Chains A and B, each alone.
Chain A
Amino acid sequence: MNVCVLYSGGKDSNLALLKAHEEFEVSCLVTLSPKSEESSIFHYPNTELVKLQAESLGIPLIMETCSDDEESSLKALYNALRKAKELYSVEGVVTGAIRSTYQATRFQRICDDLELWCFNPLWLRDEISILNEALERGFEIIFVRVAGLDRSMLGKRLNEEIVQKFAKMRSYLNPAGEGGEYETLVLNMPLFKKRIKILEFEIIGGEFDATLIVKRAELV
């Protein structure tokens, strides 16, 4: 089966991609690029870097821009998946959804409308086990947005120490950041042919609500 992966460039969609690659032919990546960070469904920071990731993966990328509201996001997703179906004969969609029934419901409905299979290989996974698996599989992950965590996390590489810290905080923090507590960027993983090197970046925002904007990056 040819599948596409809903790809944000973060840890979850990259792990979902790796699992999809083990069973199916990943024909393309689909990324929505919200105009602002208010989008409730898709990641915002550094969506431009997804182009570098796609290049490193050697997988075609379909990128659609969408407005902040839900209707626009879902319409853009529908259009992007329809393109994936038409251009790459995709029969299924793979997502990195973990626990949000809001998100899963919308993905499932759009896939059904387009007569596409929907796969959610991280669904209901323990969030700490996802972080551990990504590290065990050699992912190089950095934090690019925090909302509720200290901005000093930005640019830091996810490691076992941070995973243990998140495990202790899990009574008030979703360890996978699914509540928007943080977002990540994958600089390297087993399917990348080259890793991403960040050459220049800027941090904007306050002490506990900040974003790392990558200004220049290259594949090395």
Chain B
Amino acid sequence: MNWRDFRIWGLAPAWVIMALTLVLPIGIVVLVSLSIRGAYGGFDWGLSFDSYAKILFEEDWDGNLAFTPQYLAIIGRTLWLAGLTTLICAALALPAAYVIAQAPARWKAVLVYLVTLPFWVSMIVRVYAWIIILGNDGVIEKTLRGLGLVADMDSLLFTNGAMLTGLVYSYIPLMILPVFASIEKLDPALIEASHDLYGSRWVTARRVILPLTLPGLMAGAVLVFVPCLGAVLEPILLGGGKVMLMGNLIQTQFGGGRNWPFGAAIAVTLMGLVMIFLMLNALRARREVSHA
């Protein structure tokens, strides 16, 4: 091996950084999830599955394990909200990306720029904006009261709906861009051909446009779903900490130094869910390629 070879040392920094800051630390997280909770916070090395058992069972006064759905509910809610966010993003992105792709060339660049622009604006500011809108005495409440539609209303903040709004708003550009890229590649002649064969607009949308933009939709789904599973800001600020997701559950276990092994166990579970999702997606992509 030639040490001057750029093929080796050109890649070396990337490998070293990723190995030291990602691969090794994630290995440590797995070990911590199997360790024993320390008496004064932190942890003591060991081999125990207590932290994983804690996700499903609660120890009662006699030391017996009783099934507890509390953490399973959080995992279920996280999967459900991330999935729903991905679906809503896809439903919004498809028509918007289609219209943008149809626009004249000069407009198209401007519209794509306008779609990406909010994404450059700080995430925390964008989430904060929804607090002003949904909160007590917020923009929506004031508008409805001004119109005389309601006299008094419950806060819209700190609900699943508020979190969902925040998540969709945060991640929609990540769905639009890949969908737009695949709609742009779509040959307009195929749409016209479908109409010539007496396909209505909706049949064309369902049978021609949708299948041909599926690669873009799937790419967008990965980009939206994965960060949604680990969302922290939205559940804390828009869910008010009342409605927990896996992201802020992990964060609280480490934030106050409360229970590191349990936090690590949840983090490993989250990592496992993401890996299963990515593997299923890769399998589906490969099957599609072999069919084509």
A and B are partners in one complex rather than unrelated chains: no
User: B residues within 8 Å of A by Cβ?
Assistant: none
